């Protein structure tokens, strides 16, 4: 059952919203004992919302639908930490716009999903001090992918219909979706409001939906989207009836297959699975050609890690034990106080990024790194724009391999870890929408195909994804 069907059954009274929410919370907590997908449950709040739905006080397209919200997206009255110890105890006084929109449609927020601290990672292994790592729903010795690992894991593991709210800066929706075998949509930058998102990199962050069903992605995105006066980068975008694209077939579509994505770094299994997917689209009437995105692939990682860490290091400056999260009594000087709050409460990866980003923004090197990266970013955008003159969508693997084991991940250097994002940083830098489509499996593990579209062409991605239902 998808979320639309559930919402209809709840609205008609066939399913009791409160009873259903009770069952959902029980199952989610049972799953959580083993898999760690939720950092904080909000049981009382969920049951109160279910009560309102049952009484008919709230009616909408998500009536009674359980949703999980990535920990970096704030939910009123529920501890929201972005997976970091430094934000322990931070209880937001307001809802993020995307959360408010969901609740206005009758959605039931069940909890905050686990993630890499502040979004810094590709495996959800860089969790904050004292947090648990989410385990892959198909094989718990493997990672969920990151940084929206809890979101993807729960979307796959839950037997109840549900929508997960994730966030992507450089790949954090499609990579975990790929490792866990669900759909995950990273929309065009500006399509969904960032108001209430705990920023990682403001020029890159996007909120988007994850689910087992493409129908849920379409409906979820319809609910999330829209201009928000509280986010000056959000836009009133065209073409937002995403569900209408579910009915369109792929006949006549022109597809560009990104050929650099089939190099040595991508396992043969993944390459084969993606080609099978391309052939399937061809059988259904699409045509394809091989294309190249040399800048995005060669320069994307360097550009991304300079810009993303620069923005992150600025954003993290405010976490110093004064306004948000962890605080303590002090007789120390401010410098000592800040040090004693920040040193034990930021994880290693957060510290690495603070150092890297601060360096890249420093007077004397800013022109050589930050400004140069910003310029190359513009060239990457132009590279994609040129291709979209000739192709409806581009495709490649979402990740170069299937979900790795925790032991394999431990052996990776930070640089190797950053390489996991090889395919995904380009579209994120360009702010173009991209969708993970679970297209099959190899060795029992899901393989995901990434479909990229031009700005505001999420509909074309849904059309392509629907071919694999």
172 part of the active site = yes
Phi-psi domain of 89 (left: phi exceeds 0; alpha: psi -120 through 50; beta: other): left
Q: Could you say which of 83, 171, 433, 448 contacts ligand GLN (CB under 6 A)?
A: 171
What's the full length of the chain, in residues? 469
**Per-residue b/e over 162-176, b at no fewer than 16 CB within 10 Å?**
bbbbbbbbbbbbbbb
Alpha-helix runs per DSSP H in 290-395: 294-316, 334-345, 348-361, 372-387
Question: Taking CB under 6 A as the rule, does residue 170 contact ligand GLN?
Answer: yes
In angstroms, rounded to a whole number, what is the distance separating the alpha carbons of residues 58 and 126?
38
Q: Does the footprint of ligand GLN cover residue 172 (CB under 6 A)?
A: yes
315 is a contact residue toward ligand GLN (CB under 6 A): no
User: Taking CB under 6 A as the rule, does residue 401 contact ligand GLN?
Assistant: no
Q: How far apart are CA 251 and CA 410, in angstroms?
A: 44
The answer to whether 122 contacts ligand GLN (rule: CB under 6 A) is yes
Reply yes or no on whether 240 is catalytic: no
Nearest to ligand GLN of 108, 204 (CB atom) = 204
Are 161 and 2 contacting, i.e. CB atoms less than 8 angstroms apart? yes
Q: Among the options 9, 70, 76, 206, which is catalytic?
A: 70
- Stretch in the footprint of ligand GLN (CB under 6 A) among 170-178, 235-243, 336-344, 383-391: 170-178
Site for ligand GLN in 221-260 (CB under 6 A): none
Q: Which is nearer to ligand GLN, 106 or 170 (CB)?
A: 170
Please indicate whether residue 70 is annotated as part of the active site: yes
Rule CB under 6 A: which of 131-160 touch ligand GLN? 147
Residue 460: CB minimum distance to ligand GLN, A: 22
CA-atom Rg of the chain in angstroms: 21
| Rounded least distance, CB 404 to ligand GLN, Å | 14
Residue labelled with tokens 């994804």 = 465
Does position 347 interact with ligand GLN (CB under 6 A)? The reply is no
How far lies 453's CA from each of 188, 354, 417, 430, in Å? 9, 32, 26, 11
Least separation in angstroms between residue 338's CB and ligand GLN is 24
**Residues labelled catalytic:** 70, 147, 172
- Contact positions vs ligand GLN (CB under 6 A): 119-122, 147, 168-172, 200, 308, 421
């Amino acid at each position: 059952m998808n979320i639309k069907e559930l919402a209809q059954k709840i609205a008609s009274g066939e399913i009791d919203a409160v009873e259903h929410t009770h069952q959902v919370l029980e199952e989610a907590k049972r799953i959580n004992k083993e898999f760690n997908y939720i950092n904080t449950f909000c049981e009382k709040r969920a049951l109160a919302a279910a009560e309102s739905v049952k009484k008919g006080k709230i009616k909408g397209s998500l009536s009674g639908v359980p949703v999980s919200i990535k920990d970096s997206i704030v939910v009123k009255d529920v501890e929201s930490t972005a997976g970091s110890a430094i934000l322990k105890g931070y209880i937001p006084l307001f809802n993020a716009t995307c959360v408010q929109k969901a609740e206005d449609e009758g959605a039931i927020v069940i909890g905050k999903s686990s993630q890499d601290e502040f979004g810094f990672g590709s495996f959800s292994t860089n969790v904050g001090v004292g947090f648990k790592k989410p385990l892959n729903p198909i094989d718990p010795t493997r990672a969920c992918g990151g940084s929206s690992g809890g979101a993807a894991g729960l979307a796959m593991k839950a037997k109840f219909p549900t929508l997960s709210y994730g966030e992507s800066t450089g790949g954090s929706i499609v990579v975990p979706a790929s490792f866990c075998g669900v759909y995950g949509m990273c929309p065009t930058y500006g399509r969904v409001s960032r108001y209430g998102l705990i920023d990682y990199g403001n020029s890159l962050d996007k909120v988007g939906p994850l689910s087992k069903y493409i129908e849920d992605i379409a409906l979820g995105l319809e609910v999330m989207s829209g201009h928000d006066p509280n986010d000056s980068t959000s836009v009133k975008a065209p073409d937002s009836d995403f569900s209408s694209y579910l009915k369109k077939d792929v006949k006549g579509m022109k597809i560009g297959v990104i050929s650099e994505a089939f190099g040595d770094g991508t396992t043969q299994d993944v390459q084969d699975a993606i080609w099978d997917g391309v052939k399937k689209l061809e059988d259904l009437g699409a045509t394809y050609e091989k294309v190249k995105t040399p800048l995005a692939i060669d320069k994307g990682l360097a550009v991304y890690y300079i810009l993303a860490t620069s923005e992150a290091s600025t954003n993290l400056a405010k976490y110093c034990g004064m306004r948000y999260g962890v605080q303590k009594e002090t007789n120390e000087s401010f410098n000592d106080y800040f040090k004693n709050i920040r040193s034990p409460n930021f994880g290693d990866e957060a510290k690495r990024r603070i150092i890297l980003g601060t360096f890249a923004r420093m007077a004397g090197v800013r022109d050589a790194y930050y400004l140069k990266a910003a310029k190359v970013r513009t060239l990457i955008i132009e590279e994609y724009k040129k291709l979209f003159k000739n192709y409806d969508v581009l495709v490649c693997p979402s990740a170069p391999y299937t979900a790795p084991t925790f032991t394999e991940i431990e052996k990776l250097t930070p640089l190797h870890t950053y390489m996991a994002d090889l395919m995904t940083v380009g579209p994120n830098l360009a702010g173009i929408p991209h969708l993970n489509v679970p297209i099959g499996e190899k060795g029992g593990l899901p393989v995901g195909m990434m479909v990229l579209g031009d700005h505001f062409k999420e509909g074309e991605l849904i059309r392509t994804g629907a071919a694999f239902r």
